[in-house]
Amino acid sequence: MPTSRFRLAWLRDPLPWAALALAALTFGMPWLKPLFAAAFSGLDRPLYEQESFAELVLSHLTLVGLSSAIAAAVGVGAGIFVTRERGREFRPMVESLVAMGQTFPPVAVLAVAAPLIGFGETPALIALTLYGLLPVLRATIAGLEAVPAEAREAATGLGLDAGQRLRQVELPLALPVIVGGIRTSVIINIGTAAIASTVGAKSLGSPIIVGLTGFNTAYVIQGALLVGLLAVVVDLAFARLGRRAGRWRGSTSP
Amino acid sequence: MIDIQNVSKRYGDAVAVQDLSLTIPRGEFTVLIGGSGSGKSTTLKMINRLIEHDSGRILFNGEEIRRFRPEEIRRRMGYAIQSTGLFPHWTVGRNIATVPQLLGWPAARIAARVDELLHLLGLPPDEFRERRPHQLSGGQQQRVGVARALAADPEVLLMDEPFGALDPITRGALQEEMRRVHRRSGKTIVLVTHDIDEALGLATRLVLLDQGRIVQAGTPAELLTRPANDFVRDFLGRSERGIKLLGLQTVASRLRPGETAEGEPLQAEGSLREALSQFVAHGSERLPVVDAHGRPAGALHFADLLRPAA
C-alpha cells in the first residue's frame, strides 16, 4: 500500500481528532478565559476554577470506569448464567430485576442512596452501576442466543465440554453484540455521571450544577462541552473495539 | 464395533426409537435411511450421546457408552452435520484442528495433520488454511466439515445428512470423496440420509427405518433383490428397482474383454445404470468400453445387462 494513501486513511479517522480536541480542551480551558469573559461580560468569574478540568475529567472517568466495569462483569456474568441449562429458570426474574434498575431514574436512586449511605462517590457508584446493567445483560443474552445452533451442536458433537464450548465458541461469536451492549452502557453512564455531582461526587457535572444553581452559563457550557466530547471519544473507541471483535465476520467496513 | 441392543427413546408421548437393535461392524459404511420421523437421526445421535437413550444398551467396543464421559466418547467419534456447523470466527485450519487441540496434540503434529486432511479432501492447504468459512462455497465448507470430523483419526465417523444442503453436482463429488475416504482408511462410517440414491451409492450396509423400528437391514443389493415387504419396495422406488440394481454394479463386471465395437465408449468404472442410459440414447446394442486411462478394454452388449455378474 502506498504511504500517501495510508496517511490519508489515518487523517480520515475521527478518533484521534476527537481525542486531540478532548485533550486540548481539558488542559487548555484556562487559555479560553478571555473568550468566555468576552462572551459573558456580565459574569465576575467566567471560568470554573474550583478544580482543574483535568482533575474533573479524571474523576469523571474513574466514576464511569468503575461503575461500568462492575456493570459489565455482573451483566455478562448474569447473561451467561441465565442462558445456561441450570440458570434458565432464573431468566425472567433476573431480566425484570435489571429492568427495574433502569426504570428508576438515576436522580431518584441518588436521592434515596445519599441519606442512607452518605454523600460522595459511593451512592453515585451504586446508581451508575444499577443503571448500566440492563444494556449489558440484554446484549449478552441476545448475543449468546444468536450463536448459530449448528455451531453449538457441532461443538458439542466434537467433544467440547460446556466450559470449552462457552469460551471457545459461544463467547467469541457473541462478543460483537456484547461489546455493543457495554458501549451503550458506558455512554449512558458518561451522561448520567454528570448528575452524580448533585450528591457531592466530583465529576464534569460539578461545573454544570454549580453553573445552573448560580446562573453561570459559562460554567454550564464548559462542563457540557467536555462531557459531550468525552462521550464522543469513548463511543468512537468502542466502535473500533466492536469492529475488531467482529473482524471474523468479514464485514464490509474496514 | 457399535452394538445397539433393544434401545428405545421417547419424547413425551411420541416414540422416536422403539426397541431397536443393530450391530454396526468395524470397517463398514453403514447408512441409516428412512423418511422424516423414522428415528434415523435420533439413532445416530444416541451413539455419541448427543441424545441419551431411555432404555436398552449401546456398546462401543464392547463397553456400555454410559461408562465414558460424553466428551471422551465424542472425541473418539468424528461428527459431521448437514449445515457443517463450522465455527465462523476460526480459520479453516483452526476448525479442522478442533479435536486435536482438545486432545492436546503438539502444534507441529496438528499443523501436519491439517495439511494432510486439506490435501485428502482436495483443498490445496496453502490456499485454504487461513481462509474463514464464509469465504468458502457450500461444497468446500462441507469438505472442511468432513476434514474436521476426521482430524483426530477417530475410530468411528458419524455423519448426519452431511450432503443434504448441496447441489447435485457438488453432492455427487463429495459422495465420491467419501467412497474414496472409506476405501483408503477402512474407517467405520455411519451416515444418515433420506436420499435413496445416496444410500445405495455409499452403503456397504443399508438399514431402512420407519417409525423408530428397523424395517430391513442388509447390503444394498439384498434390499433391492429381496425386499422384506411392500414398504421396502416402495421406499426403494418400486418402478425403478431394476435400474437402481444396475447402479450398484460396474461395467467392468460384465465386460467382454478383447471384443471391439463401434460407437461412443463406456467407462469400465462407470455403473451399468449409466451403460443402460448410453445404450438407449445411442439406440445401439453394442458399445466399446475403455479403462480409466482411456485405453480400449473390450465391449459390452445390451443383453449383458441381464446376465448375472461374471
| Residues B163, B149 share a domain | no
Dump pLDDT digits (tens) for B143-158.
Answer: 999 999 999 999 899 9
Q: Tell me whether residue B84 is in a domain.
A: no
| Residues B161, B146 share a domain | no
Shortest Cα–Cα distance, A254 to chain B (Å):
16
**CATH number for the domain harbouring residue B188:** 3.40.50.300
Q: Which residue has the higher pLDDT, B93 or B271?
A: B93
Q: Which residue has the higher pLDDT, B199 or B248?
A: B199
Three cell numbers, residue A212: 445552573
| Residues B283, B141 share a domain | no
Query: Of A220, A217, A216, A218, nearest to A206 (Cα)?
Result: A220
- Whether B102 sits inside 8 A of A148 (CB atoms) is no
Question: What is the β-pairing status of strands B29-33 and B205-210?
Answer: parallel
| Residues B69, B161 share a domain | yes
What's residue B291's pLDDT?
86
In chain A, DSSP finds a helix count (H) and a strand count (E) of: 12, 0
A163 and chain B: CB distance < 8 Å anywhere? no
Q: Tell me whether residue B82 is in a domain.
A: no
Dump pLDDT digits (tens) for A229-239.
Answer: 999 999 999 99
What's residue A250's pLDDT?
65
Query: What span, in angstroms and rounded, lies between the C-alpha atoms of B268 and B61?
Result: 39
Three cell numbers, residue A146: 444468536
Shortest Cα–Cα distance, A178 to chain B (Å):
15
Mean pLDDT of B15-42: 92
* DSSP-based three-state secondary structure for B13: coil
| Residues B57, B192 share a domain | yes
**Of the residues B105, B132, B154, the one at which a domain ends:** B154
What's residue A253's pLDDT?
38
- Whether A158 sits inside 8 A of B74 (CB atoms) is yes
Query: Of B241, B254, B261, B138, nearest to B196 (Cα)?
Result: B241
Mean pLDDT of B267-282: 86
Mean pLDDT of B289-307: 86
- Chain B environment of A249 (Cβ under 8 Å): 88, 134
Q: Tell me whether residue B290 is in a domain.
A: yes
| Residues B199, B123 share a domain | no
Mean pLDDT of A9-33: 85
Q: Which residue has the higher pLDDT, B187 or A246?
A: B187
| Residues B61, B178 share a domain | yes
Does residue A6 have a pLDDT over 80? no
Contact B48, B77 (CB under 8 A): yes
Contact B226, B232 (CB under 8 A): no
What's residue A196's pLDDT?
85
| Residues B60, B170 share a domain | yes
Does residue B309 have a pLDDT over 80? no
| Residues B236, B163 share a domain | yes
Q: What is the domain count for chain B?
A: 3
* DSSP-based three-state secondary structure for B213: strand
Query: Of B51, B64, B76, B52, nearest to B5 (Cα)?
Result: B64
Owner of C-alpha cell 462531557 = A227
What's residue A7's pLDDT?
64
Mean pLDDT of A137-152: 93
| Residues B40, B8 share a domain | yes
Which one-letter DSSP state was computed for residue B59? Answer: E
User: Per CATH, which fold does A55-249 belong to?
Assistant: MetI-like fold (1.10.3720)
| Residues B160, B58 share a domain | yes
- Chain B environment of A164 (Cβ under 8 Å): 102
What's residue A3's pLDDT?
52
- The number of angstroms, rounded, from the C-alpha of A124 to the middle of its chain's C-alpha atoms is 15
- Whether B85 sits inside 8 A of A150 (CB atoms) is yes
Domain extents in chain A? 55-249
Host domain of residue B102: 94-154
Q: Residue type at A60? A: H
- Whether B83 sits inside 8 A of A150 (CB atoms) is yes
| Percent of chain B whose predicted confidence (pLDDT) is above 70 | 98
Shortest Cα–Cα distance, B249 to chain A (Å):
35
Dump pLDDT digits (tens) for A63-86.
Answer: 999 999 999 999 999 999 999 988
**Of the residues B202, B220, B243, the one at which a domain ends:** B243
Query: What span, in angstroms and rounded, lies between the C-alpha atoms of A194 and A191?
Result: 6
Which of B81, B88, B89 is nearest residue A153 as measured by Cβ atoms? B81
- For B36-50, B119-133, B195-209, B280-294, which range has the lowest pLDDT when averaged over its residues? B280-294
Q: How confident is the model at residue A254 (pLDDT cuts 50, 70, 90)?
A: very low
| Residues B285, B185 share a domain | no
Which of A153, A159, A164 is nearest residue B85 as measured by Cβ atoms? A153
- Whether B89 sits inside 8 A of A156 (CB atoms) is no
**Of the residues B136, B154, B172, the one at which a domain ends:** B154
**CATH number for the domain harbouring residue B264:** 3.10.580.10
Q: Tell me whether residue B89 is in a domain.
A: no
Mean pLDDT of B257-267: 85
Q: What is the pTM of this model?
A: 0.81
Does residue A1 have a pLDDT over 50? no
Q: Residue type at B212? A: G
What's residue A252's pLDDT?
39
- Whether B72 sits inside 8 A of A156 (CB atoms) is no
**Interface size between A and B, measured as CB pairs under 8 A:** 68
Does residue B307 have a pLDDT over 50? yes
Contact B106, B156 (CB under 8 A): no
The per-residue pLDDT of chain B, averaged, comes to 89
- The number of angstroms, rounded, from the C-alpha of B8 to the middle of its chain's C-alpha atoms is 25
The per-residue pLDDT of chain A, averaged, comes to 87
Three cell numbers, residue A23: 485533550
Strand (E) or helix (H) holding B3: strand B2-11
B102 and chain A: CB distance < 8 Å anywhere? yes
